[in-house]
Amino acid sequence: MRIFKLLSAFFKVNVQMSLAYRADTVVNILLNLMWLGWELLSLNIIFNNTDTLGGWGLGELIALLGVFRLVNTMMIAFIWPNTEKFNQSIRDGSMDYTILQPVSSMFLVTFSRITVWRFWDLILATVLIVVGVNMSAETTTAPQILTFILLAITGMIIIYSLWIILIALTFWFVKFDNNVTILQALMDSGRYPATVYPAWLRIIVTFIIPIAVATTIPLQALRGELSAIQIAVFFAVSVISFFVASRVWKAGLRQYSGASS
Amino acid sequence: MFLIFKRLWQVNWAEQWQYRANLLMYLFYWLVSPIIYLAVWTSIANVKGSVNGFTANDFITYYMVLLICDQMTSNIVIHTFAYKIQDGTLSGELIKPIHPLLTNGLVNNIAFKVLTIMGLLPIWIILFFLFKPNFSGVAITGVLLSIPIMVVAFFIGYLLSAAITSLAFWTTRVYSIHEFYFALILLFSGQFVPLPLMPKLIQDIAQYLPFQLFLYFPIQLILGKLSTDQIILGYVMAGVWLVIAIVTFNWVWRQGVKQYSAVGA
Amino acid sequence: MSATIQVDQLSKTYKVPERKGGFGAAVRSFFKRKYKEVKAVQEVNFTIERGEIVGFLGPNGAGKTTTLKMLSGLLHPTNGKANVLGFTPWELKQEYLRSITLVMGQRNRLSWDIPAADSFLLNQAIYRLSDDEYKKTYKELDELLELEPLMKKPVRNLSLGERMKCEIAAGLLHRPKVLFLDEPTIGLDITGQVRIREFLREYNKRTGATILLTSHYMADVTALCERIIIIHHGQLKYDGGITNLSKKIAPFKLIGVMLAESNSHDLSKYGTPVQNEEDWEKRYIQVKAEDVTRITSRLLADLPIHDITIADPPIEDVIEQAFNS
């Protein structure tokens, strides 16, 4: 209950902030639509030249684009702006205030900045997923949809955990403001099924910077390609990675306060 | 004049060298999308044998050469200059007896280019062993002919970006305008896919735009895929667009400075 | 009942990596780092009772901020104990954080892009204040600091003094029992400083809050605190009443004069000449406070003076003189 109160308070503050830059918000939405147009055009170009990409049809790729936009919304709405704020708060010392607030600092660091207008992307993403799934010939069962939702969430938790670990490293290496570039750089790989990539790239986006875990894999679940054991493994990995991330975060705070030295 | 450029080079080189770590990150960031496109198209070509005449090796060589051409012809003037107009630090540069964008800004961009190309080389060699391209179609004449085109294309791109950057004299949303311009490049330059695979309409328009000179034209020239007629046409287009770019930039810049001094920023 | 703040042998040693310039040195230090130990705070002891306002004095780098950060819980000490309101600060218990505040003059907690009122509401949620509590506290703070006209403007449009008022108010919305204030008046002009001081005194009287504040303005401390703790090179040098302190520190003033022929006059017969590195135009002498009027009029009568100023000597010098000689 309390968490919702806090979230809504953060949300309100961020709505205020984006209202201060109203015209920019409109321009950003237009640009976002332009990129959606480009993404659909590029899929159209690909499928003018082929029927399948890595074994997937056009409908599936549209659905994948939807999943990708879902993950990307998390990135753009929360992760990038909060990374910026975090790096700045380390530089100017306002991190001290964050730590002294009676709320988990990991929570504060995650939600203090929200790019509010990006939420409208959730609608776009949902439309893309629904349209895409309908276009692909196979019938989808209710359990498949449920595992899809579950795996999309676990995938996002895994990426989120990686992010926490990356920014927590700043507590040890103060001059680490490139902390999330690697995550940002590989993000674009999520637009296409990981099966088309050469083995070395597939390994990177599945195991090291697991973008594919949040994009390709949930969609495979939707298509009923994953076994129950595989689903259980992804679920377990997300729980473990969240646990590890919060441990690393706490160790980072101890480093910051000098308790570990 | 030569001395000015020499001094400017020393200053800007030293400045860019300081940021070499960030530069590597930028390079890494920039590398990902060509590699993804490469993977997507080779996987299609592998399944079908060839796409519209393009074999898997054609795609690999295309994107491998694209990595080099893109570094040769692109620029970062919007990031190094727009904020100067916005926060007023430009005033200091305007009173100097040299053109801020055509001297200092230009040299700064070139220093950046040289460093990124130095950083790209080892990465390119690694990718060479990962993708094993077959460059048998490449002829020395094509490579030599592509060099003046890339130099001219760099200047066209630089002047057009500089013109867009100069819009910062009027609007604070110059970055959004530039994002739109960036999408045009993506669409018409052959960055996503070799132009013959694009819809007919886009191909037709692309012929008359400068963006194909940034990537598609020099890449195909290096790979030895163009006829003499096509090469001549490309050179003519480059000449025409260079003139258009010079005139456009000069006009926008002059109006902008007028506007700037009128407001008294 | 035990004291509000109890500090026992508190020490903090920083390990600072030692590294020379150059690539080779960078590589070497990567494999084998050499550390230099900096003793920021050394075995400091004191107790503060409920409702006291204590001034924490010392030159820059003396260890004031380090001590304050340990007491608020941000830093873990290398050695020693501290107890504030029955808690060990660096355990960062939520209950503890809800009953203290730390305000740092040089840092912002308010968002620049939005009016302070919105940031205040966020704090209401973070500190779990009911609407009634919040309104009541806000009304009181508004009465003392005249916040209302500032609340609607984006923080970036406020003056430094106005912003500081909002920063302090933001730190007090949850009615903390203990206030740690680090240089709360830094950068403010004289009227701004006086305002903040008056507010703190009134707030202390009304709420009985315990206040520990650092400053390197002597005036802050003399105006507010009956008790002073002086820390220098990380060590506690003095803990006691302000009146006793004045006996220990001979009260001096600095007279600065700008002369027509700057170097040709001997000033040492008027007072002790001192160097002032921030101001080369003037020559400075140090005189006893009670002699200021007499010596000033003598200077004006004897010498071709263009400009004359009288000021308190920097606190660094005062402490240096009092405790190092």
Q: How confident is the model at residue A179 (pLDDT cuts 50, 70, 90)?
A: confident
Residues C67 and C216 in one domain: yes
Query: In this structure, is residue B144 part of a structural domain?
Result: yes
C156 close to A (CB below 8 A): no
Structure tokens at B177: 């305008």
Query: In this structure, is residue B250 part of a structural domain?
Result: yes
Per-residue pLDDT, averaged over C274-302, amounts to 80
Of B26-30, C4-8, C74-78, the range with the lowest mean pLDDT is B26-30
Q: What is the pLDDT of residues B145-161, one digit of tens each?
A: 999 999 999 999 999 99
**Position with higher pLDDT, A234 vs B86:** A234
Whether residue C199 contacts residue C229, with contact meaning beta carbons closer than 8 Å, is answered with: no
Report the percent of chain C where pLDDT is more than 90.
Answer: 33
Instruction: Give residues 17 to 36 of A whose Cβ lies within 8 Å of B.
Output: 23-24, 27-28, 31, 34-35
Query: In this structure, is residue B218 part of a structural domain?
Result: yes
Residue among A20, A92, A103 whose CB faces C113 most closely: A20
Residues C200 and C56 in one domain: yes
Q: How confident is the model at residue C24 (pLDDT cuts 50, 70, 90)?
A: low
Q: Which residues contact A44 (CB under 8 A, 6 or more apart)?
A: B199
Q: Backbone phi, then psi, for C41, in 5-degree steps? A: -135, 130
Structure tokens at B10: 């020393």
Q: How confident is the model at residue B265 (pLDDT cuts 50, 70, 90)?
A: very low
The DSSP bridge pattern shows strands C272-274 and C178-182 to be unpaired
Smallest CA–CA distance, residue B175 to chain A, in Å, is 11
Query: In this structure, is residue B224 part of a structural domain?
Result: yes
Residues C157 and C290 in one domain: no
User: Which of C188, C221, C247 is a domain's end point?
Assistant: C247
B129 close to A (CB below 8 A): no
Per-residue model confidence (pLDDT) at position C21: 58
The crossing angle, in degrees rounded to 10, of helices B228-263 and B140-166 is 20
Per-residue model confidence (pLDDT) at position B178: 93
Query: In this structure, is residue C20 part of a structural domain?
Result: no
CB atoms within 10 A of CB B136: 9
State the residue range of the domain holding C282.
Answer: 250-324
Per-residue pLDDT, averaged over C262-269, amounts to 73
Q: Per the structure, how many domains does chain B have?
A: 1
B199 close to A (CB below 8 A): yes
Per-residue model confidence (pLDDT) at position C25: 63
Provide, as residue numbers in chain A, all residues whose Cβ is less than 8 Å from the Cβ of B21: 178
State whether B25 and A181 contact (CB < 8 Å). yes
Q: Per the structure, how many domains does chain C have?
A: 2
* C-alpha dihedral sign at C144, C149, C151, C157: negative
State whether C121 and A261 contact (CB < 8 Å). no
Per-residue model confidence (pLDDT) at position B243: 97
State whether A259 and C76 contact (CB < 8 Å). yes
A7 close to C (CB below 8 A): no
Whether residue C210 contacts residue C48, with contact meaning beta carbons closer than 8 Å, is answered with: yes
The DSSP bridge pattern shows strands C235-241 and C252-259 to be unpaired
Query: In this structure, is residue C26 part of a structural domain?
Result: no
Q: ipTM value of the model?
A: 0.86
User: Which of C224, C247, C270 is a domain's end point?
Assistant: C247
Please, is C43 exposed, middle or buried when counting C-beta atoms within 10 Å of its C-beta (0-12, 13-18, 19+)? Answer: middle
pTM score, two decimals? 0.83
Residue among A5, A13, A254 whose CB faces C114 most closely: A13
Query: In this structure, is residue C25 part of a structural domain?
Result: no
What CATH code is carried by the domain that includes residue C183? 3.40.50.300
Whether residue C210 contacts residue C50, with contact meaning beta carbons closer than 8 Å, is answered with: yes
- DSSP SS3 for B89: coil
Of A115-129, B5-19, B61-75, B164-178, the range with the lowest mean pLDDT is B5-19
Provide, as residue numbers in chain A, all residues whose Cβ is less than 8 Å from the Cβ of B52: 49
Structure tokens at C316: 């660094």
**Position with higher pLDDT, B66 vs C276:** B66
Dist CA B60 CA B43 (whole Å) = 11
Dist CA B154 CA B257 (whole Å) = 24
Mean pLDDT of chain C: 84
Q: What is the pLDDT of residues C132-189, one digit of tens each?
A: 999 999 998 998 888 999 998 888 888 888 898 899 999 999 999 999 999 888 878 8
Residues C157 and C228 in one domain: yes
CB atoms within 10 A of CB C247: 9
Query: In this structure, is residue C17 part of a structural domain?
Result: no
Per-residue pLDDT, averaged over A21-50, amounts to 90
Dist CA B12 CA B105 (whole Å) = 9
State whether A99 and C94 contact (CB < 8 Å). no
Q: What is the pLDDT of residues A58-108, one digit of tens each?
A: 998 999 999 999 999 988 899 999 998 998 888 888 899 999 999 999 999
Smallest CA–CA distance, residue A142 to chain B, in Å, is 31
Side-chain half-sphere CA neighbours of A64 within 13 A: 28
Side-chain half-sphere CA neighbours of B66 within 13 A: 26
* Chains in contact with chain A (at least 3 beta-carbon pairs closer than 8 A): B, C
Residues C156 and C261 in one domain: no
Q: Backbone phi, then psi, for C79, in 5-degree steps? A: -150, 160
Residues C226 and C107 in one domain: yes
Query: In this structure, is residue C23 part of a structural domain?
Result: no
Q: What is the pLDDT of residues C50-108, one digit of tens each?
A: 999 999 888 777 888 899 999 999 999 999 999 999 999 999 999 999 999 999 887 88
What CATH code is carried by the domain that includes residue C305? 3.30.70
Please, is B122 exposed, middle or buried when counting C-beta atoms within 10 Å of its C-beta (0-12, 13-18, 19+)? Answer: exposed
Of A9-18, A195-204, B156-165, C33-42, the range with the lowest mean pLDDT is C33-42
Q: How confident is the model at residue A110 (pLDDT cuts 50, 70, 90)?
A: very high
Query: In this structure, is residue B22 part of a structural domain?
Result: no
Smallest CA–CA distance, residue B48 to chain A, in Å, is 8
Angle value at C-alpha B154, between B152 and B159, nearest 5 degrees: 95
**Position with higher pLDDT, A117 vs B97:** A117
Residues C223 and C105 in one domain: yes
Dist CA A256 CA C301 (whole Å) = 59
Q: How confident is the model at residue C316 (pLDDT cuts 50, 70, 90)?
A: low
Residues C267 and C154 in one domain: no
- Give me the helices (H) in B49-134, please: 56-73, 77-87, 90-94, 105-131
Residue among C72, C90, C107 whose CB faces A94 most closely: C107
Please give the residue of chain A at the shortest CA–CA distance from C103.
Answer: A97
Instruction: Give residues 198 to 257 of A whose Cβ lies within 8 Å of C.
Output: 254, 257
Whether residue C102 contacts residue C180, with contact meaning beta carbons closer than 8 Å, is answered with: yes
Span between the terminal Cα atoms of chain C, in Å = 40
Whether residue B121 contacts residue A191, with contact meaning beta carbons closer than 8 Å, is answered with: no
Residue B19 clears pLDDT 80, i.e. is over it: no
The DSSP bridge pattern shows strands C178-182 and C79-84 to be unpaired
* C-alpha dihedral sign at B210, B216, B222, B228: negative
Q: How many residues does this entry show for chain B? A: 265
Residues C147 and C103 in one domain: yes
**Position with higher pLDDT, C249 vs C139:** C139
Query: In this structure, is residue B12 part of a structural domain?
Result: no
State the residue range of the domain holding B47.
Answer: 33-96+128-263
Per-residue pLDDT, averaged over C287-316, amounts to 81
DSSP state of B151: H
CB atoms within 10 A of CB A36: 16
